[in-house]
Amino acid sequence: MQLIENTESGSNLITTVDENSIYINKSEYKQTAIVSNNSIVTDLQLTDIADLNAQHIEYLLSSKPELIIIGSGVQHIFPDVSLLTPIAQLNIGFEVMNNKSAARTYNVLVAEERKVACLLIIE
């Protein structure tokens, strides 16, 4: 796992996402990433929603978000429900959608100054 902290005054924004990469603040990432208001976590060794595990959920929770968005890749695929139990137990809202929808939703929530974490899976 690699953690990249945003030291600029603004929050992280997802400028583009496609099937091969994610652009966050104009920097390109060619692997799955967790983006929150002020950090980016990469090197998650996750290329398929079926491989999502409890450690990935812990990474999502580590920024103490109000909301979590899981981008399942190009297609909308819901992960194993048991993995989402820790999120529900903490009364944190969550949504699962495809990456493009997840990126748009994340940016809207950040613009509203909400504390959010977003996982985007690159296959």
Reduce the DSSP state of residue 43 to 3 states and report it. coil
pLDDT of 4: 46
CB atoms within 10 A of CB 86: 14
Fold classification of 2-120 (topology level): Hypothetical Protein Mth938; Chain: A, (3.40.1230)
The answer to whether 41 touches 12, Cβ cutoff 8 Å, is: no
Q: What is the pLDDT along the chain (123 residues), one digit of tens a residue?
A: 444 444 444 799 999 999 999 999 989 999 999 999 999 999 899 999 999 999 999 999 999 999 999 999 999 999 999 999 999 999 999 999 999 999 999 999 999 999 999 999 999
Q: How far apart are CA 95 and CA 103, in angstroms?
A: 12
How do the domains of the chain map onto residue ranges?
2-120
pLDDT of 10: 76
